[in-house]
Amino acid sequence: MSYLIDEGKNVQHLLMGNEAIVRGALEAGINVAAGYPGTPSSEIIESFSQVAKERNLYVEWSTNEKVAVEVAAAASFAGLRSMCVMKQNGVNVASDFLLHLASSGTRGGMLLVSCDDPGALSSVNEGESRLFAQLLEIPLLEPGDFQEAKDIIKWAYELSEEIRNIVMIRSVTRMSHASGNVTYGPLPSDTAARAKFNYHGPLLDPENGPVISMILAAPELQHGPQQEKMKKAAAIFETCPFNTYTGPEAPELLIITSSACSLYSREAVKILGLGKRVGILKLATTWPLPPVFLKKHLAATERILIVEEVAPTLEDHVKVLAAESVQEIGPKLFYGKKSGHLPSVGELNPDLVLAVLSRLCAVPYEAAAGVFATEAKALMEKLAPPRGMIFCPGCPHRASYWSIHNALQLDGRGGFVCGDIGCYVMGILPAGFSTVKTLHAMGSGSGIASGFGKLRQFGMDQPIVSVCGDSTFFHAAMPALANAIHHRSPFTMVILDNRGTAMTGFQPHPGSPINVLGETVPALDIEKICRAMGAKVEASDPFDLEKTREKLGHLLEYAEGAKVLILKQACALSPEKRGRKKYEVTVDETLCRGEDCGCNRLCTRIFGCPGLAWDGEKKVSHIDDIICAGCGVCVDICPAGAILKKEVA
């Protein structure tokens, strides 16, 4: 049994922020959870799935984030408590439906959990989902530690039911992927929820009518009540138990902060010994702001430092409130991103807060004894070679990009690849032979390729290739392919099918035979779909370099319409492959040409699988047995036949 559903008095566990959110939802009696994988949010749906049977939950990895919100909304309409979960970029995808949902309102408590990634530690961009709360006109809550990440969920469900609208919870990487002690509360004893959608009441009856977001030129009927809900939320926020203040009654500097930044702020104040001079107002309710509560704290000081990550949204909201109430609270001095006291990009950390506090409070601070720090740093630069990002040993993408790269080179017309989202973003790096030349959102590679394909009219004759993963195909690339086929855009879509959502940890998608609950489900066949849509389709094993290059070359030459090449090979870290080698691979040192090989050490310098390393002393390549995954691909890369493979029995 999972520790997530332990019961008993004062049970305590070390939980990840994501797990704490799950426990909170379980204590609140959640029934339905849906999401799309994305770091740092993925553990939430995974954890729900582990306890689905015991707690009578329906859990799914949806095709994309918009569908996830729709699935969770249906549960809410039928009176159940539900949650939709995604990383910040997913909120962009879901925003169209979310805007309508916020207008129609909800019934059973419904939460949108968005996990942001300040600093883009594991994202293509540094996004910001808090602005959506403002745009959607829904309340936003941000837990400040792990216990709170659990406790706030139940409170949020009650709020959602009170105002009959979806409530947004925002986490960040340093909450979601950090862990701390969490003391459990009781789980509801009754898990036999009944769902029923009532629609017989009059239109706009929030309890029994149809649920619609159609305003028909009468915004006051829906937009008006929606704004009333926000006022109600602000009033409830005045006494929110998760907004806390620590510090003197009249601090000489007031820090206003939320989420992980409150932990950095606390540590910085402690290290500098500023507890008697500086106050910390930690807000969980960051939109709408509770005005009375805030004004009380603003009135007690003259100088305010806002500590937050990514966009200065809290800063803007607090400044507006301060401007509106200047007669009541008097003029204030603000410090934060806009004043340049804190950086406007990247994630924060205790050091950045230490630096700004030391400056604003005139308390000198030095991180480490000067000589040690400078010496260690100089030696590090000299001795520690940096680690670039690479594909895993035995990754099918390395082989796929190798073939795409070579086919485009051979073709010689300056072709390029439009990239997409997954581990294969590394196609922009030397790890993927720098084949990828555009990279944006989920599914966008194929949409852009569809557009490039139509530029022949303007004399563009470069061959166009797009890549997309199997999960991405279902998520957002299918409409792009439909567009290309319909408009006869000549490009080659290479589907890198590695049997799961690899980058985030092998979550299933509509092409998988088993769902997140371990049930056997219909697996949609990508090849058949593409064929039925009308594309010219080929398939190959990317580890078969020759066949793959041949098929690619053929498709590149074929000028008509959209073409699809499906490269099927499971991810090297997939459960079916992990720790199992197909081949025992060795290098015959007598055959290895070393520096005279190809364009100089083809296998190690160019192909670059970490299982193969260059021995600078012997001047030959060798296999690192611990790292090599035994895929056997490098055997076919070596022009001298020096790399040998033997099938492992």
Partner 1 sequence: MTAIPLKKDPYSIIITGVGGQGNVLASRLLGSMLADKGFYVTIGETFGASQRGGSVMSHLRVSKEGVASPQIPRGRADVIVSLEPVEAFRVLATYGNPDAVLLTNTHPIYPVGVIRGELSYPPLDELQDVISRLLPASYFIDATEQALLLGNAILANIVMLGALGRLNIVSFDRENFHAAIGRRVAADKVAVNLQAFDVGYGMVQV
Q: Which residues contact 332 (CB under 8 A, 6 or more apart)?
A: 298, 301, 302, 303, 304, 322
Q: Which residue has the tokens 């649920």?
A: 211
Q: What share of the chain is helix, strand, coil (3-state, %, to 5)?
A: 40, 20, 40
Q: Rounded CA gap, 267 and 355, in Å?
A: 12
Q: State yes or no: residue 423 binds ligand SF4 (CB under 6 A).
A: yes
Distance CA 321, CA 519 (A): 52
Task: Give the separation between CA 94 and CA 139, rounded to whole angstroms.
Answer: 17
Tell me: does residue 630 bind ligand SF4 (CB under 6 A). yes
Residue 487's nearest CA partner among 532, 419, 533, 555 is 533
Q: If binding is defined by CB under 6 A, does position 572 make contact with ligand SF4?
A: yes
631 binds, among partner 1, ligand SF4, none (CB under 5 to 8 A by kind): ligand SF4
Report if residue 140 touches ligand SF4, rule: CB under 6 A.
no
Q: How far apart are CA 637 and CA 481, in angstroms?
A: 32
Residue burial 500-523, b: 16+ Cβ < 10 Å; e: rest? bbbbbebbbbbbbeebbbeeeeee
404 binds ligand SF4 (CB under 6 A): no
Q: Smallest distance from the beta carbon of 602 to partner 1, in angstroms? A: 11
393/443 with CB nearer ligand SF4: 393
Contacts with ligand SF4, 591-620, as mask; x by CB under 6 A: ------------------x-xx--------
Check binding of 474 to ligand SF4 (CB under 6 A).
Answer: no
Closest residue to ligand SF4, judged by C-beta, is 611
535 lines the binding site for ligand SF4 (CB under 6 A): no
Q: How far is the CB of 233 from partner 1 (least distance, A)?
A: 27
* Residue 121 contact partner, candidates partner 1, ligand SF4, none, CB within 5 to 8 A by sort of partner: partner 1
Instruction: Pick the closer one to partner 1 by CB: 495 or 503.
Output: 503
- Is residue 628 within the footprint of ligand SF4 (CB under 6 A)? yes
Q: Which stretch binds ligand SF4 (CB under 6 A): 40-48, 93-101, 243-251, 390-398?
A: 390-398
Residue 304: exposed, middle, or buried by beta-carbon count in 10 A (0-12, 13-18, 19+)? buried
Report the half-sphere exposure of 105 (CA within 13 A, side-chain side): 26
Contact between 632 and ligand SF4 per CB under 6 A: yes
* Nearest CB to partner 1, comparing residues 397 and 475: 397
Pairing of β 253-257 and β 303-307: parallel
User: How many CB atoms are closer than 10 A to CB 423?
Assistant: 22
Q: How far is the CB of 425 from ligand SF4 (least distance, A)?
A: 10
The dihedrals phi and psi of 439, each to the nearest 5 degrees, come to -155, 120
C-alpha torsion 109→259→115→105, nearest 10: 30
- Report whether 530 contacts 538 (CB < 8 A): no
The reply on whether position 394 binds ligand SF4 by CB under 6 A is yes
633 touches, from partner 1, ligand SF4, none (C-beta below 5 to 8 Å by class): ligand SF4
* Minimum distance from residue 175 beta carbon to partner 1 (Å): 8
Residues that bind partner 1 (CB under 8 A): 3, 12-14, 39-40, 121-123, 145-147, 173-175, 177-181, 260, 263-264, 266-268, 271, 349-351, 354, 367-369, 372-373, 375-377, 379-380, 383-392, 423, 426, 430-431, 503, 579, 601, 604-605, 608, 610, 612-614, 616, 624, 626-627
Rounded distance between C-alpha atoms, residue 187 and residue 176, angstroms? 22
For position 393 contacting ligand SF4 by CB under 6 A, the verdict is yes
Q: Which among 60-68, 155-163, 290-298, 624-632 is the span making contact with ligand SF4, rule CB under 6 A?
A: 624-632
DSSP-derived letter for residue 90 is H
Q: How far is the CB of 614 from ligand SF4 (least distance, A)?
A: 12
CB-nearer residue toward ligand SF4: 247 or 469: 469
Rounded to whole angstroms, the Cα distance separating 492 from 562 reads 6
Interface residues with ligand SF4 (CB under 6 A) are 391-395, 397, 423, 498, 502-503, 571-573, 585, 609, 611-612, 623, 628-634
